[in-house]
Amino acid sequence: MKISQLVEVLEGKVVCGEQFLDKEVQYGFASDLMSDVLTLDSDKLVLITGLNNLQTIRTAEMADIECVIFVRNKKVLPPMIEIACEHEMVLVECRFSMFNAVARLSTAGLKPVY
Amino acid sequence: MKFKYEIEGGNFSKAGNASSEVKKILKQLNVPPPIIKRLVVALYEGEVNVVAHAWNGCIYVEIEPERIDVKIEDKGPGIPDIEQAMQEGFSTASQAVREMGFGAGMGLPNMKKNADQLNISSKVGKGTIVELVIFLNGKR
């Protein structure tokens, strides 16, 4: 699915990377634990998390993740946007719980990593 | 090519800066993306470990045509039992580190998974040296 579809399903707000909404994503991984995110090998991965700090963005950078969804109404902070823009990431804020967001994305066709 | 980066213990706002720099260099050198990912994930875990546990540290990266050598050297409390530290789930991380999304005892095992060679030596009360190698020609 395209990132734009994912934003629609989540009624999300795109905080940065609007020019990349046509990129395709295939897999989703929901975690607040960045070490678990760093164990994944999948490409075209969306990270769904409630952890809104700089290390979330650094983790996405190292793991080649191009789209991060922040659930539970967590707000993206300015230093996070700076690094995310540099690495051409799409950051999306979403008011739903992680459970709700994941359920919607799964119904829409996003696949689990395992 | 040799590079050196200094790491500040406890400063999570800078954790990942060195790994990010190394990633940029490897991209410029046209290293294959899967190898870049393995190296920077292992390096980033190591960098976070220094920030999380040590007082300060240094990362040395040496890039040669056939291999990349990384040495992460810190001054810090050291690791009393390396075998125990290598077990998934074992962690001595503080609450502050856990709040940053780390400290679940996955760091060292994940470094081992991504590196072709990993060697850890440590002296309690002095510090830790982590050396890892990734081969660029696919040899493990």
Establish if B10 touches chain A: CB-CB under 8 angstroms: no
Measured in degrees and rounded to the nearest 5, phi and psi for residue B43 equal -65, -45
Determine the distance from the C-alpha atom of residue A57 to the mean position of all C-alpha atoms in its chain, rounded to a whole number: 10
pLDDT at position B104 over 80: yes
Domain presence at residue B140: no
Domain presence at residue B124: yes
Domain of B34, in residue numbers: 2-135
Q: How many distinct structural domains can be found in chain B?
A: 1
pLDDT at position A2 over 90: yes
A13 burial class (0-12, 13-18, 19+ CB within 10 angstroms)?
Answer: middle
pLDDT at position B6 over 90: yes
- Chain B nearest C-alpha distance from A53 (Å): 7
pLDDT at position B16 over 80: yes
Are the Cβ atoms of B16 and A58 closer than 8 angstroms?
A: yes
* CA-based nearest residue in chain B for residue A60: B41
Establish if A30 touches chain B: CB-CB under 8 angstroms: no
Does domain A3-112 fall into CATH 3.40.1390.20?
Answer: yes
The ipTM of this complex is 0.91
Domain presence at residue B8: yes
Position A78, amino acid: P
Among partner residues A33, A55, A64, which is closest to B37 by beta-carbon distance?
A: A64
The pLDDT assigned to B74 comes to 97
Establish if B45 touches chain A: CB-CB under 8 angstroms: yes
pLDDT at position B13 over 70: yes
SS3 B132: strand
Domain ranges of chain A: 3-112
Domain presence at residue B117: yes
List the end-to-end C-alpha distance of chain B, in Å, as a whole number. 22
Are the Cβ atoms of A33 and B101 closer than 8 angstroms?
A: yes
Q: What percent of chain B has pLDDT over 90?
A: 88
Domain with B86 in it: what CATH number? 3.30.565.10
Residues 46-75 of A with CB under 8 A from B: 51, 53-56, 58-59, 61-64
Q: Could you report the per-residue pLDDT of B52-88, keeping only the tens digit for each? A: 999 999 999 999 999 999 999 999 999 999 999 999 9
Domain presence at residue B18: yes
Establish if B23 touches chain A: CB-CB under 8 angstroms: yes
The pLDDT assigned to B140 comes to 58
> What's chain A's average pLDDT?
97
User: What is the rounded CA–CA span in Å between residue A9 and residue A28?
Assistant: 14
Q: Could you report the per-residue pLDDT of A33-83, keeping only the tens digit for each? A: 999 999 998 899 999 999 999 999 999 999 999 999 999 999 999 999 999
Are the Cβ atoms of A35 and B15 closer than 8 angstroms?
A: no
The pLDDT assigned to B137 comes to 82
